[in-house]
């Protein structure tokens, strides 16, 4: 596994392809994921987004997983894990755990004291929520019908 924290031009397409492969995100969300990469390629750290990326050693230009995170504007030292995705073929091999650990370490170096991550309360996200709980995250809030009727937002948080 090759890990990187700086972006290269091909990452907008690679992130979009990875996020699509997971089957968890809409077309609109794929665009957002790619836009955050493009914005950071353009504006660097000033964009407010940081990345941890796992390159696919067998397929140059493809990613096995990534996170996108950064300081939450108007907070003192709270960070948000905006995106985490692991290629379906690689799930269950510990890549998600390593991504979270590297992400939290980088955030702590940036003086983060709290990491938040939003997810859905839907059945489909039970493994996602179980993953965050294994990583030491706790439910900080639950907002009924936030994403859509019957689709709650669950906010997880972890003190770093």
Residues at the site binding a second copy, with contacts judged by CB under 8 A? 26, 28-29, 32, 73-78, 113-114, 116, 140-149, 151, 155, 157
Q: Which two tokens stand for residue 26?
A: 């809409």
If the CB atoms of residues 98 and 129 are measured against a second copy, the closer one turns out to be: 129
| Distance from C-alpha of 64 to C-alpha of 71, rounded to nearest angstrom | 24
The enclosing H or E element of 11 equals: helix 11-22
If the CB atoms of residues 22 and 77 are measured against a second copy, the closer one turns out to be: 77
Residue 149 CB, shortest distance to a second copy, in Å, is: 7
Residue 43 CB, shortest distance to a second copy, in Å, is: 12
If the CB atoms of residues 59 and 142 are measured against a second copy, the closer one turns out to be: 142
Residue 112 CB-density burial (10 A; 0-12 exposed, 13-18 middle, 19+ buried): buried
């Amino acid at each position: 596994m090759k890990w990187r924290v700086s972006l290269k031009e091909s990452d907008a397409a690679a992130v979009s392809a990875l996020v699509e492969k997971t089957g968890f995100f809409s077309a609109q969300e794929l665009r957002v994921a790619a836009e955050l990469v493009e914005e950071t390629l353009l504006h660097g750290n000033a964009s407010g987004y940081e990345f941890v990326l796992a390159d696919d050693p067998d397929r140059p230009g493809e990613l096995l997983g990534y996170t996108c995170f950064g300081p939450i504007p108007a907070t003192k030292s709270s960070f948000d894990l905006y995106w985490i995705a692991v290629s379906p073929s690689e799930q269950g091999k510990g890549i998600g755990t390593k991504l979270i650990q590297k992400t939290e370490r980088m955030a702590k170096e940036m003086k983060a004291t709290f990491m938040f991550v939003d997810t859905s309360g839907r059945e489909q996200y039970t493994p996602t929520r179980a993953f965050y709980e294994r990583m030491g995250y706790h439910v900080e809030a639950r907002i009924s019908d936030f994403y859509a009727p019957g689709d709650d937002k669950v906010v997880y948080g972890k003190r770093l």
